[in-house]
Amino acid sequence: MAASRMDLLPSEIKSFLPIMNLIDVNRDPLKFRHRLVGTEIVDQLGRDVTGAFVSPDLYGDAFPQIFEALRVVVEEIQPYARRARISWADRNWLCAESIALPLIDSAGEVNMVLRAASYFTDARAVSGDGEVWPLAA
């Protein structure tokens, strides 16, 4: 059996960058800012929110669920997976499956969230407002 590796070199994640989103965590009060948005995410959603704060202006009625997902990642220090219809963008026929992971600084606090997303158009694969899967860290 081959040995498994837990460490990745930066060059090994290059192919994943288009589907990645790095989100900064600001505290007091808790808020989130899109630091980096991958090119495939921009292409799929038809907008680039790099530098913008996660807000009702960006996400409309979906803002409370999006904010809560990020809060869980940051305050409970656990990954978060979700599949949902993109109701907040001009392309509301689009659905996404995503995972958000906490990135921890040297003080042991989550200072960024790493999110990766995959997009699809079969809305039958999503029930109701979406699905959330609890994940163990």
Encode pLDDT of 27-43 as tens digits: 999 999 999 999 999 99
Answer yes or no: pTM beyond 0.95: no
Report yes or no on 11 lying in a domain: no
> What's the average model confidence in pLDDT over 68-89?
89
Q: What is residue 93's predicted lDDT score, i.e. its pLDDT?
A: 76
Q: What is residue 121's predicted lDDT score, i.e. its pLDDT?
A: 83
Report yes or no on 112 lying in a domain: yes
Contact present, 50 and 36 (Cβ < 8 Å):
yes
Structural domain boundaries, residue 96: 17-134
Report yes or no on 62 lying in a domain: yes
Report yes or no on 10 lying in a domain: no
CATH number of the domain encompassing residue 130? 3.30.450.20
Q: What is residue 85's predicted lDDT score, i.e. its pLDDT?
A: 81
Domain count, the chain: 1
CB within 8 Å of 33: residues ≥ 6 apart: 23, 24, 26, 51, 52, 53, 54
| Distant-in-sequence contacts of 54-62, Cβ < 8 A, 24+ apart | 54/23, 58/88, 59/88, 60/87, 60/88, 61/87, 61/88, 62/87, 62/88
Report yes or no on 53 lying in a domain: yes
Q: What is residue 122's predicted lDDT score, i.e. its pLDDT?
A: 73
Q: What is residue 103's predicted lDDT score, i.e. its pLDDT?
A: 95
